[in-house]
Structure 1
Amino acid sequence: MSNPYLPFRAAIIEVRRETAVDFTYRLEADMQVAGGQFVEVSIPGVGEAPISVSDFGDGWIEMTIRRVGRLTNVIHHLRPGNSLFIRGTYGRGFPLERYAGKDLIIAAGGTGLAPVKSLLNRYGGNPGEVKSLTLLAGFKTPADILFRDEIERWRRQHRVEITVDRDDAGGWPGRVGLITGLIAREPISQPENTVVIVVGPPAMMKFSTLEFIKRGIKQENIWVSFERKMCCGIGKCGHCKIDGAYVCLEGPVLNYTTAGRLMD
């Protein structure tokens, strides 16, 4: 029996700067991944943390990592040729079969855009899998916008609306305001045929899902992705437990019929 806690060494192939504190790392990794799953990333003697897989392909995965603590501070000094240690993948991803033939709306707040990046790329390359796709993304300021090059490509493939909470420096040509404002104005002609994914900070997810419900979206047609301190990844340590649910096993992607009672 293999050791589920045993990581493997993954070489860094590419590093791309997204913002002052967010970097995307492409690593050499031959592993089975579903969009929405996460891995445990570690550096011996420094620490370990759960990180969402933002994209993946044949022989590689990508993770967009924000510098927020001891481990991520060290990671942000690494360059191609260096390595990270990875174990996983863990958790449940997005149920693509539930989105087939539907109008799909993805609402992402801040770094919540990372876990859905692979979906946007997938449906961009396979547009017939969903009836339509709309991305609503919100960031604190224009300087916090992730995946700028990808956003321009997604605009050519999908309907994309971007908003920022504030424009301190001035000069931002787009919308200013919370993402809930985008949701309130979003044209939803067939709510019964619309499915929704919401990913972001807890408050953003709470009020965004409530806004979609106001717009007539059924709770069973809404999915969210939780970010928790998922230490073990296999439901043993209990750090990610909310009530009776282990987010690392039942999530991180959860249908709102379950997630609605777990939001804390």
Structure 2
Amino acid sequence: MVNNEYLPFRSEILEVIKHAELEYTFRMSYDRGDEHPVKPGQFFEISIPKYGEAPISVSGITDHSLDFTIRRVGSLTDEIFENYVGDYFFMRGPYGNGFDVNMFKGKEIILVAGGSGLSPIHGVIDYFADHMDECKKLTVIVGFKSPDDILFKEDQKRWAEKGISLITTVDRAPEGYTGHVGMVTKYIPDLTFEDMPNAISVVVGPPPMIKFSILELKKIGFDVENIWLSESRKMCCGLGKCGHCRIGDIYICQDGPVFKYTKISSMID
């Protein structure tokens, strides 16, 4: 019997968590872990018949569920937001290479994210929040447009309590706001290291944020060989068949979406 790679499976919505006006996390049933284990940074194609499908990064992993943090931006996501606990989505995956937590172990880790870019690295942070003895230090710098747009507020409290150095900043804030204000790049020059040559960084977010965050990391002497990105733009089929995400001889959905910076920096899009 020929295996149909495009055939999705049905997954029940177990819980819906509202973060902001347009961002919700959908916790989906997933009992295929032994057959298809999932890593942080991988993605699934989530679909609703007659409305289409879209690639969505995994933002949380347990033994029997997966989290997907989704922004309401079009007809498919509009329909997704009308589906709540007890309803179903169709999914296929996991796709992509994801983050191997082993490459972070024993190192000082710097994670820089913009907005929903926190989703692909959420699982990495969760892992080390529960295994802080397996890394030297973990610093997370994450930026949002405004206080109302901040995602994963409860998770962020838990991460800080676990000993993670967390800087959550906003581009603009109302009068009286006491949190960090400014771009994520503002806080990179203040980073301190015990052993910078062996530190590792991941940058995820909009292209301009990635560009200028890497420039700031370079300015402080960070080794570009130790910078990783998650590049998910233009992905469509997830199988390397449609060619939408092809750049040169690279297929983002198959060869990524996690790349070493030095591999992807020379690619012409």
User: Do they fold alike, i.e. is TM over 0.5?
Assistant: yes
1:163 aligns with 2:149: no
Q: Displacement of 1:263 after TM fit?
A: 7.0
Secondary structure of residue in 2 paired with 1:41: strand
Q: 1:91 aligns with which of 92, 96, 101?
A: 96
1:218 — aligned with what? Answer: 223
Tell me, yes or no, if the aligned pair for 1:191 and 1:215 is still in contact at 8 Å.
Answer: no
The corresponding residue for 2:111 is: 106
- Alignment RMSD (CA, Å): 1.2
Structure 1 residue 232 displacement after superposition? 1.3
- Matched to 2:117, the amino acid is G
- 1:251-262 pair list within 5 angstroms: 251-262=256-267
Amino acid at match of 1:50: P
Q: Could you give the per-residue CA deviations for residues 234-264 of structure 1, whole angstroms, max 9, x where no partner exists?
A: 1111101122211001110100111212375
In 2, the alpha carbon distance for the partners of 1:143 and 1:252 equals 28
TM-score by length of 2: 0.95
TM superposition outliers: structure 1 runs of 4+ over 4 Å? none
Residue 171 of structure 1: CA displacement?
Answer: 2.7
In the alignment, the residues of structure 1 paired with residue 189 and residue 246 of structure 2 have an alpha-carbon distance, to the nearest angstrom, of: 32
Q: Is the 8 A contact 2:107 2:200 kept in 1?
A: yes
Provide, for residues 183-238 of structure 1, a one-character-per-residue CA deviation record: whole Å limited to 9, x for no partner.
12222342112100111111111111121122111111011101223211111111
1:62 matched to 2:63: no
Q: For residues 256 and 21 of structure 1, what CA distance do their matches in structure 2 show?
A: 30
Q: How does 1:106-125 map to 2 (within 5 A)?
A: 106-125=111-130
Residue 188 (1) aligns with residue 193 (2) = yes
Measured against aligned partners, the alpha-carbon deviations of 1:161-199 in whole angstroms (never above 9, x if no partner) come to 1111111x3232112111000112222342112100111
Percent identity between matched residues is: 45
Q: Distance in 1 between matches of 2:188 and 2:67?
A: 29
Q: Which amino acid aligns with 2:40?
A: G
Contact kept, 8 Å, 2:43 with 2:58, in 1: the verdict is yes
Residue 220 and residue 263 in structure 1: after superposition, are their counterparts in 2 closer, same or farther (change >3 A)? farther
Q: Which runs of 5+ in 2 are unaligned?
A: none
1:144 paired with 2:145, answer no
Question: Deviation at 1:96?
Answer: 2.1
Aligned residue-pair number: 263
